[in-house]
Amino acid sequence: MNAESLTVDLNMPRRALQSIPQGALRLVCREGAVWLTLDHDQQDVILNAGDVFLTRPQDRVIVYALQSAVLRMEALPMEQVAEVPRWRWLPQRLRGRPAGPALA
């Protein structure tokens, strides 16, 4: 099997917690909403249905389902790995959404 074409859908009930090992991935929230926390990154990310997030090879991600959700994980082709910017959460800020959950 070609690792570059690997795609997995993760069905998560509300409040489910999942650890995703290190790897360059394209994460697509297909349904619901998930909260992503990355090792060694102070910025958390919330994905709603239709949102996309790219991880770098060294990123390990913890995913928490804010509601029932389907998260698609796609392995990134090697030529796209170098293109993943450190400021990958910026599009959420530009759309007016907070890039992470507000803490009380």
CATH number of the domain enclosing 25: 2.60.120.10
Enter the tokens of residue 86: 């450190």
In a domain, 36, yes or no: yes
Tell me how many domains the chain contains: 1
In a domain, 75, yes or no: yes
When pLDDT is averaged across residues 28-43 and rounded to a whole number, the result is 93
13 pLDDT band, cuts 50/70/90, is: very high
Q: Residue 6 and residue 39: Cα distance in Å, rounded?
A: 23
Mean pLDDT, the chain, rounded, equals: 81
In a domain, 86, yes or no: yes
| pTM for the model | 0.71
Q: Is the pLDDT of residue 33 over 70?
A: yes
Q: Domain range spanning residue 45? A: 3-94
In a domain, 57, yes or no: yes
Q: Measure Cα distances from 78 to 18, 38, 75, 81, 94 in Å.
A: 25, 21, 9, 5, 28
In a domain, 102, yes or no: no
In a domain, 71, yes or no: yes
* Amino acid, res. 88: R
